[in-house]
Structure 1
């Protein structure tokens, strides 16, 4: 199972070198363990029998894997095994079975591969590298030790083959989206009724204001700090589905247990659900304890569950992105906040949020509370370079343009003129009546600044409305015209 090595690249040229387990560079064999921890399988194998052993978490990883194979074309066999948590294994198997469509997409999947690699090169890889599919979906084992034993059986059958081509690389495509616009750098906020529409808003923020920076995964990202996304009305039992979401309903259903259940696949380092419901050696069920706290006292600030294991995650290579889930009660409704240290906005945000909304409803139902808003805080909100074009296309094609009026939860404003003193008067009100906030002035500019300083509106369109309405009032005052709020001015 070895081949003549005529490569012009060093091993350190391998993409994501530190995330690969290197065995014998003269071997024909690459091993892809999907989400199962690669070291659990590799440690049971003879390093002489494989070149590379690596995980494959996302569609982007297929592109990196392919570029490595083109650099080291002595890889002629690719063993696919382990837990397929994100359908990347299914996509890779579909590529080897069907090839690519004209737009570099894998038929039957939502995976689009690297357009910097020509279609003929992708087809050459598909024809010259043999996929050996040992996934559980094909009836093969899930346990890492059993997977290793199956791999040994397959290795014994393989003939030694020469490299299928000369080593080569392909140019990286220019980044999509241009330079980042100036921004406040941190503390971005969006709000929507549903997960799907809110996802579009967060994605637009990242693509518009995200700084282009390197990552630990050999590709660039656009990143903004500390986004706060609020979802107000999504019914997790009857979600508002959108065809532009980058996953199918079946994939979402398969994802739910990763947060809602303590069970995990053999060989997987952890799931969020396991950390939340069976944390540590003693198996603490933090969600059950949250429910107990909320039943004991609705005013509690201690309904909190965490995923971070200080001993493991401070030094480990695969720390959780979701750090904390907390809940509190306002006016008889359960509000929940989830905090992420790192958040892949294009690929993971929407699935994470749908599942967390289900968890929120479970806690609300079990504590006899109504369902309030869900808040997602993302310390690093980012989109990887291979998804920039997808993100921009999705935003341009499907973004909902709000032409309808939304009621501002912070109230509304009553605008009138007082001719005797030549003043514009503005009273802030809520459904409960007038508040202490009253403003008067002679110009729209003066009043806009006063109201904005008090932060009495929460929606961008509300501030825009105030600007238009106050400018109308100023014109009416100066020209002696009649002014009625929300009515057009009548010029004689």
Structure 2
């Protein structure tokens, strides 16, 4: 009996060509309909169901690689993979080649056992049924690169004709690998205001780590059109010192510096590849404008900031309402930008950047996006001649996909989060976080018999509080909004309680020493 393709995972995202075919066609980031039209026009018959060797066509980006290989184990008649299209600076094809050449290795991230493609940072779940060795023995792969306009893809037709065919009787059995689904009762959802999460940290990795903790602990379980998510709304992150981290530090969490640098280069590229509906670089530097050519909005911002350093008009929208939000009945685009606005503002002599995203994948995309924003900020700041300041990222929908291979990593980060202190990762040292609202000095005035609390900032006295009761001072500080960190508030509460107890003991001591001998004994 002839085996035909049966999708085990993501069947709604896979387009069938010839179910009995033995080739899987990967279009990477290029939309499948665009790729199919180009291939049908330039390589006649390649996608004709009657005789095509192509079984299925699908995109491949994000965390879809593991599901693709699981589908191949369930469909052993598909022996060949062919990639065409845009990879947008991502190493997807390189990772496939590395997997088939070098296989997987065991790895542990924050106490979680995972598999990693040797020499790469692509993570897979550690599932016994996943037979990597069988895939390596039976699957071939070739990348034909970008689809270039109406020109044929050189060698593609000849390559498909030359691929060896495997007799049906020699094919191994189907292997079913079930990717663990998210179970609501396994998730400890903690109550919060999901639209009020705000993180301020020194570096990009610090901000990302705390956002992961918040997303795992407080994300609201929702089901979207592309599956379940743990979601925070309008999550705000402020990176006060947006600088590159080392490859060693990024590698602890499954990231690589070279990928971040490649993304930084791509986000400044104005070219729009064939078949791609948008890129951030094109929206920033080529999409908008008249027929004479697209406007470079970054250069326009540079000119504006040079002319008026204090301007509040250095604002860029990447959202094209006509294209991204078409009128009722008009065709809808295949994809829309997640990054929607960027605002530049000079503050305290530095160039700040604030970006808004309509949706954000926290585990896989957020940190890379921040590195892209850092490149944009640096590009503008260098041309204006000012140093860079904080980067602020507002994510309207910040989501964690519990089906992601990186979900276990996120759970591990949340479970191991024990302190609110700043961490010098290079030296592995902790330090108390400095409250941007200032600090407090708590003491007892023995002459006035009361507590004295001084609110200070950089050595300057902001306000002094006096009372013989800690609760009175606490309410006054709360009313003045003097504390912004939870850890600082706990410390201040302990200090007030300690000093108040010392004040009571002094009073008792004075009463005892002033009382008659008999009264003291009683």
After TM superposition, the score normalised by the length of structure 2 is: 0.80
For residues 351-370 of structure 1, the aligned pairs below 5 Å read 351-370=368-387
Equivalent residue for 2:156, pick from 140, 151, 155: 151
CA distance in 2, matches of 1:397, 1:162: 51
- 2:265 equivalent in structure 1: 257
Equivalent residue for 1:118, pick from 111, 124, 129: 129
- 1:74 equivalent in structure 2: 77
Shift of 1:340: 1.1
CA distance in 2, matches of 1:270, 1:255: 15
Is the Cα contact below 8 Å between 2:277 and 2:334 reproduced in 1?
Answer: no
- 2:502 equivalent in structure 1: 476
Q: Does 1:51 align with 2:55?
A: yes
5+ residue gaps, structure 1, are: 483-492
Shift of 1:380: 1.7
Shift of 1:14: 5.5
Q: Does 1:183 align with 2:192?
A: yes
CA distance in 2, matches of 1:53, 1:6: 14
Closer/same/farther in 2, CA of residues 92 and 237 from structure 1, 3 Å limit: closer
Shift of 1:240: 9.7
Closer/same/farther in 2, CA of residues 99 and 331 from structure 1, 3 Å limit: closer
CA distance in 2, matches of 1:168, 1:361: 50
- 2:411 equivalent in structure 1: 392
Is the Cα contact below 8 Å between 2:144 and 2:156 reproduced in 1?
Answer: no
CA distance in 2, matches of 1:320, 1:123: 38
CA distance in 2, matches of 1:155, 1:238: 43
Q: Does 1:373 align with 2:429?
A: no
SS at match of 1:52: strand
Structure 1, 83-92 or 110-119: larger mean CA deviation: 110-119
Closer/same/farther in 2, CA of residues 159 and 235 from structure 1, 3 Å limit: closer
Q: Does 1:64 align with 2:67?
A: yes
Shift of 1:94: 1.4
- 1:4 equivalent in structure 2: 2
Deviations 1:412-459 (A, max 9, x none): 234343457654343433348443x55444433443343234322223
Closer/same/farther in 2, CA of residues 354 and 245 from structure 1, 3 Å limit: farther
Closer/same/farther in 2, CA of residues 449 and 351 from structure 1, 3 Å limit: same
Is the Cα contact below 8 Å between 2:277 and 2:333 reproduced in 1?
Answer: no
CA distance in 2, matches of 1:441, 1:398: 37
Is the Cα contact below 8 Å between 2:237 and 2:392 reproduced in 1?
Answer: yes
Is the Cα contact below 8 Å between 2:199 and 2:238 reproduced in 1?
Answer: yes
- Bigger Cα Rg: 2
CA distance in 2, matches of 1:479, 1:295: 64
CA distance in 1, matches of 2:260, 2:4: 45
**Root-mean-square deviation over aligned CA pairs:** 3.1
For residues 402-413 of structure 1, the aligned pairs below 5 Å read 402=422, 403-413=430-440
Deviations 1:151-192 (A, max 9, x none): 323222245545634555333326497322222211211111
CA distance in 2, matches of 1:117, 1:75: 22
Is the Cα contact below 8 Å between 1:426 and 1:439 reproduced in 2?
Answer: yes
Is the Cα contact below 8 Å between 1:81 and 1:133 reproduced in 2?
Answer: no
SS at match of 2:105: coil
Is the Cα contact below 8 Å between 1:411 and 1:429 reproduced in 2?
Answer: yes
Closer/same/farther in 2, CA of residues 281 and 148 from structure 1, 3 Å limit: farther
Q: Does 1:99 align with 2:110?
A: no
For residues 57-456 of structure 1, the aligned pairs below 5 Å read 57-58=61-62, 60-84=63-87, 85-102=89-106, 103-116=114-127, 118-119=129-130, 121-128=131-138, 130-136=139-145, 142-143=147-148, 145-146=150-151, 148=153, 150-158=155-163, 160-161=165-166, 164-167=171-174, 169-173=176-180, 175=182, 178-218=187-227, 220-235=228-243, 241-280=249-288, 282=290, 283-314=294-325, 315-385=332-402, 386=404, 387-394=406-413, 401-402=421-422, 403-418=430-445, 422-431=449-458, 433-435=460-462, 437-456=463-482
Shift of 1:336: 1.0
CA distance in 2, matches of 1:466, 1:91: 51
- 1:30 equivalent in structure 2: 24
Is the Cα contact below 8 Å between 2:213 and 2:417 reproduced in 1?
Answer: no
Closer/same/farther in 2, CA of residues 6 and 377 from structure 1, 3 Å limit: closer
SS at match of 2:389: strand
Structure 1, 312-321 or 209-218: larger mean CA deviation: 209-218
5+ residue gaps, structure 2, are: 41-46, 107-113, 326-331, 423-429, 509-522
Is the Cα contact below 8 Å between 2:93 and 2:143 reproduced in 1?
Answer: no
Is the Cα contact below 8 Å between 2:189 and 2:220 reproduced in 1?
Answer: yes
CA distance in 2, matches of 1:418, 1:399: 36
Structure 1, 186-195 or 168-177: larger mean CA deviation: 168-177
Is the Cα contact below 8 Å between 1:83 and 1:135 reproduced in 2?
Answer: no
Closer/same/farther in 2, CA of residues 445 and 170 from structure 1, 3 Å limit: farther
CA distance in 2, matches of 1:168, 1:245: 31
Closer/same/farther in 2, CA of residues 426 and 98 from structure 1, 3 Å limit: same
